[in-house]
Amino acid sequence: GQQLNQSPQSMFIQEGEDVSMNCTSSSIFNTWLWYKQDPGEGPVLLIALYKAGELTSNGRLTAQFGITRKDSFLNISASIPSDVGIYFCAGFSGNTGKLIFGQGTTLQVKP
Count of CB atoms within 10 A of residue 48's CB? 17
Q: Judged by CB under 8 A, which of 12, 14, 39, 42 binds another protein?
A: 42
Site for another protein in 21-40 (CB under 8 A): 30-31, 33, 35, 40
Of 43 and 66, nearer to another protein (C-beta) is 43
| Contact between 34 and 72 (Cβ < 8 Å) | yes
State the alpha helices, DSSP H only, in the chain: none
| Helices (H) then strands (E): counts for the chain | 0, 11
User: Applying CB under 8 A, does 59 fall inside the site for another protein?
Assistant: no
Residues in the site for another protein, rule: CB under 8 A? 1, 4, 6, 9, 30-31, 33, 35, 40-45, 48, 88, 90, 92, 97-104
